[in-house]
Amino acid sequence: MKKILLSAALGCLAGAAQADVTVMSWGGAYGFAQNEAHLKPFAEKTGIRTVMVDTDNAAGPIKAMVQAGDVTVDVTSLELSDAIRLCDEGMLEPIDPAILPAGSDGTPAAEDFFHGGITDCAVATDLWANVIAFDSSKFAGEKPSAAADFFDTDRFPGKRGLKKSAKAVLELALLGDGVPADQVYALLATREGQDRAFARLDKIKRDIVWWEAGAQPPQLLADGEVAMTTAYNGRIFNALIDEGKPFEIIWDGQIYELNVYAIPKGAKNLEQALDFVRFATSTEGLARQAGYISYGPARRSSNALDIIYKDGHTVMRPNLPSSPENMGNALESSSDFWVDRDAELNERFNAWLMLS
């Protein structure tokens, strides 16, 4: 994703302020997907000029604009946790769920979106996942297929790549220890559950290679430094489809998060912004985005459609974290849990890292 300083971002936005709808997104492949799937078709259908500006994370710039009383963005893409926080702080416009279109199969929007997909100030666009990936060429016989296999270095020898953070690692440890997804956070909220997660990590600690940036896991696999690694599903898909790497994803135990569209408080083109959100988060709008990037549409009706990748032949359904066949033991990352316990668990995690 393209990184720009806030001052530079505000400068770019000043030049785009005359557009009827200005959308702030993440740049890179993600911004490209939204531009092709949402902005261009919306402008073509409505005649409303629509432009995109990029930033690494819109949460900071949006808050600065609202506080300064100079909002030059009409719609913004955010992580769900940031949208909830900004909404609570009065930085976003409320969005009435009643304005959202029903699914293409007639399902009301409130029932069509995945859990958490509609909040007071935001509407989900897609979900991405932390998954386990491996190089299939490294396993001649039985191949790993479950979260528990990540922790089984006897049956599946080799180093393991893990993100250097408590979040998503502690959840995976419990999932890999047989805890059902719907019980993970209740257990992890207890000392007993935390002890169990760290005990599971202890079993592979000597085999862990830590990563911190999303580009690292596919490179660790490609270089043969690890046999398996956690990774962002989109990174593995790109390595597999665009680069021809012999990688496979284990969907069991995936930990997914939602991205959303929101409208900054004081947006100058509020009605047009609401029209854009309605259009982009329709069944067809979300399905179009998944044709450009392997993040799952946040509507169930979108996932029921036949979605083909931009290469014209790759069927997206098996590659999306939101596909029903990939959601069997999926865990929705809890922003509420991490707001309450981030400092505490990361302190313990960092102390654990220092232990031999």
pLDDT digits (tens, 9 = 90+) for 153-178: 999 999 999 999 999 999 999 999 99
Query: Residue 172 domain-assigned?
Result: yes
Q: Are 259 and 34 in contact (CB under 8 A)?
A: no
**Per residue in 206-218, pLDDT tens?**
999 999 999 999 9
| The pLDDT of residue 56 | 87
**Per residue in 44-95, pLDDT tens?**
999 999 999 999 899 999 999 999 999 999 999 999 999 999 999 999 999 9
Residues 142, 120 within the same domain: no
Domain that holds residue 183: 129-256+333-354
Q: Of 272, 270, 286, which is closest to residue 320 (Cα–Cα)?
A: 286
CA atoms within 13 A on the CB side of 273: 30
| The pLDDT of residue 321 | 97
Evaluate if residue 228 carries a pLDDT over 90.
yes
- Residues with Cβ within 8 Å of 68's Cβ and at least 6 positions away in sequence, in order, are none
Query: Residue 67 domain-assigned?
Result: yes
Any idea what the CATH number is for the domain that residue 109 is in? 3.40.190.10
Evaluate if residue 4 carries a pLDDT over 80.
no
Which of residues 191 and 7 earns the better pLDDT score?
Answer: 191
| The pLDDT of residue 16 | 43
Residues 123, 20 within the same domain: yes
Query: Residue 166 domain-assigned?
Result: yes
Residues 184, 139 within the same domain: yes
Residues 298, 340 within the same domain: no
Q: Are 87 and 66 in contact (CB under 8 A)?
A: no
Q: Of 260, 272, 271, which is closest to residue 49 (Cα–Cα)?
A: 272
Residues 143, 160 within the same domain: yes
End-to-end CA distance of the chain: 36
Residues 118, 240 within the same domain: no
| The pLDDT of residue 8 | 37
- Both tokens of 72, joined, read 């030059």
**Per residue in 13-33, pLDDT tens?**
444 444 699 999 999 889 999
**Per residue in 306-334, pLDDT tens?**
999 999 999 999 999 999 999 999 999 99
Q: What is the 3-state secondary structure (H, E, C) of the chain?
A: CCCCCHHHHHHHHHHHCCCCEEEEECCHHHHHHHHHHHHHHHHHHHCCCEEEEECCCCHHHHHHHHHHCCCCCCEEEEEHHHHHHHHHCCCECCCCHHHCCCCCCCCCHHHHECCCCECCCEEEEEEEEEEEEEEHHHCCCCCCCCHHHHCCCCCCCCCEEEECCCCCHHHHHHHCCCCCHHHHHHHHCCHHHHHHHHHHHHCCHHHEEEECCCCHHHHHHHCCCCCEEEEEHHHHHHHHHCCCCCEEEEEEEEEEEEEEEECECCCCCHHHHHHHHHHHCCHHHHHHHHCCCCCEECEHHHHCCCCECCCCCCECHHHCCCCHHHCCCCEECCHHHHHHHHHHHHHHHHHHHHCC
Residues 29, 142 within the same domain: no
Residue type, 84: I
CB neighbours (10 Å) of residue 142?
Answer: 9
Query: Residue 22 domain-assigned?
Result: yes
User: What phi, psi does 331 have (nearest 5°)?
Assistant: -120, 125
Residues 58, 154 within the same domain: no
| The pLDDT of residue 11 | 42
Residues 75, 175 within the same domain: no
CB neighbours (10 Å) of residue 281?
Answer: 29
Residues in the chain: 356
CB neighbours (10 Å) of residue 325?
Answer: 9
For 284-289, what is the mean pLDDT?
A: 98
Residues 169, 290 within the same domain: no
Evaluate if residue 1 carries a pLDDT over 90.
no
Query: Residue 343 domain-assigned?
Result: yes
For 200-210, what is the mean pLDDT?
A: 97
Residues 96, 148 within the same domain: no
Query: Residue 1 domain-assigned?
Result: no
Mean pLDDT of the chain: 93
| The pLDDT of residue 140 | 87
Counting the structural domains of the chain, the total is 2
Residues 47, 172 within the same domain: no
